């Protein structure tokens, strides 16, 4: 009997805590989270045919998100892509984290280039980019032109790692992440180290180490993509170039990676000088989130369009 009473008290307490979390931190409500739980082979994509909002607890953004029947955030159907069209593949940057779909560089590229452009992005890594392109082909895509957006802050560090298995969003932890604001709030607190006035995400930047093996492995994977498509690799610079004292290492890594790609005959566009052109590169990022604002996407789309038109 005592055990049942204790259990009932715990359940009631958790229910109260969940209610308080949703009341005072509404942006952590599950209804305001994009769920990447749809299994497509080795990929985890957003739930097909869903509409939701993506909001920032810090107030950086509050945008609408519409997912199509393939689990992709795109009003264009990649299954219809042809040889003269452009497919953009990448992680959360290309997906348009925190911006409206029409403000993403892929959509702006379509307007600037006059060519249909498809967004084939998802929160994944280099191995995942190849899987996304394979997924598009399975759907019927015959695209020949591909823009691969490489996140220099993450992609080289994960070059030796495989993608998470489709089941990684399952189990108790996965269920809580999808249904509990309290769980999401606790996860964010853990990420920030439970410290008052925790540093913004701009300050929490993971730095690269100069690792020739990781560089070559990443370049080899991109070479396999370039063997199948007319590929342009767009390098999204690490914020560690502008935060902290790691600029020399980051530039060394970027230069070595660029050379490795060019030796493999891969077209490369480095966005570092583009973002630095006005002297304030971090102004193109959200104040508390490490992704581009609409202004950043606009600037980048112009650079990519000009590069492809050469």
Percentage of residues of the chain with pLDDT beyond 90? 71
* Domain presence at residue 284: yes
CATH assignment of the domain containing 153: 3.40.50.1110
Q: Which domain holds residue 100?
A: 33-168+202-308
Q: Looking at residues 257-274, what average pLDDT do you find?
A: 98
- Cβ neighbours for 120, distance < 8 A, ≥ 6 positions apart: 72, 74, 78, 87, 88, 89, 132, 133, 135, 136
In the prediction, which pLDDT does 158 show?
A: 65
In the prediction, which pLDDT does 33 show?
A: 65
* Domain presence at residue 270: yes
Length of the chain in terms of residues written: 310
Q: How many domains does the chain have?
A: 1
Tokens of 126: 């280099």
Which letter, b or e, does each residue of 137-167 get, where b requires 16 or more Cβ atoms within 10 Å of its Cβ? eebebebbbbbbbbbbbbbbbbbeeebbebe
* Domain presence at residue 189: no
Q: Is 89 left (phi over 0), alpha (psi -120 to 50) or beta?
A: beta
More confident residue, 207 or 29: 207
* Domain presence at residue 275: yes
pLDDT surpassing 60 at residue 179: no
pLDDT surpassing 50 at residue 190: no
pLDDT tens, residue by residue, 35-89: 899 999 999 999 999 999 999 988 999 999 999 999 999 999 999 999 999 999 9
* Domain presence at residue 140: yes
In the prediction, which pLDDT does 132 show?
A: 98
* Domain presence at residue 78: yes
pLDDT tens, residue by residue, 111-128: 999 999 999 999 999 999
In the prediction, which pLDDT does 241 show?
A: 97
Residue 228 exposure: Cα atoms within 13 Å on the Cβ side: 16
Q: What is the pTM of this model?
A: 0.81
* Domain presence at residue 272: yes
* Domain presence at residue 185: no
């Amino acid at each position: 009997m005592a055990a049942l009473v204790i259990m009932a008290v715990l359940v009631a307490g958790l229910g109260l805590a969940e209610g308080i979390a949703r009341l005072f931190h509404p942006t952590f409500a599950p209804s305001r989270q994009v769920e990447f739980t749809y299994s497509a082979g080795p990929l985890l994509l957003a739930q097909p045919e869903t509409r939701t909002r993506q909001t920032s607890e810090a107030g950086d953004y509050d945008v609408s998100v519409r997912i199509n029947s393939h689990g992709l955030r795109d009003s264009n159907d990649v299954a219809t892509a042809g040889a003269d069209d452009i497919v953009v593949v990448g992680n959360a940057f290309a997906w348009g984290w925190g911006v409206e779909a029409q403000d993403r560089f892929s959509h702006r590229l379509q307007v600037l280039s006059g060519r249909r452009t498809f967004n084939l992005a998802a929160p994944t890594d280099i191995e995942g980019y190849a899987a996304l392109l394979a997924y598009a082909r399975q759907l019927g895509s015959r695209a020949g032109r591909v823009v691969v957006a490489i996140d220099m802050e993450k992609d080289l560090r994960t070059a030796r790692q495989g993608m998470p298995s489709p089941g990684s969003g399952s189990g108790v932890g996965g269920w809580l992440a999808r249904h509990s604001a309290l769980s999401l709030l606790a996860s964010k607190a853990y990420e920030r180290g439970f410290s008052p006035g925790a540093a913004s995400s701009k300050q929490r930047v993971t730095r690269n180490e100069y690792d020739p093996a990781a560089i070559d492995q990443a370049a080899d994977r991109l070479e396999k993509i370039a063997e199948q498509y007319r590929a342009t690799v767009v390098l999204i610079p690490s914020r560690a170039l502008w935060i902290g004292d790691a600029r020399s290492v980051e530039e060394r890594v970027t230069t070595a990676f660029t050379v490795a790609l060019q030796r493999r005959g891969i077209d490369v566009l480095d966005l570092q000088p583009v973002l630095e052109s006005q002297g304030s590169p971090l102004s193109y990022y959200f104040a508390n989130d490490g992704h581009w604002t609409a202004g950043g996407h606009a600037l980048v789309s112009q650079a990519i369009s000009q590069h492809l038109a050469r």
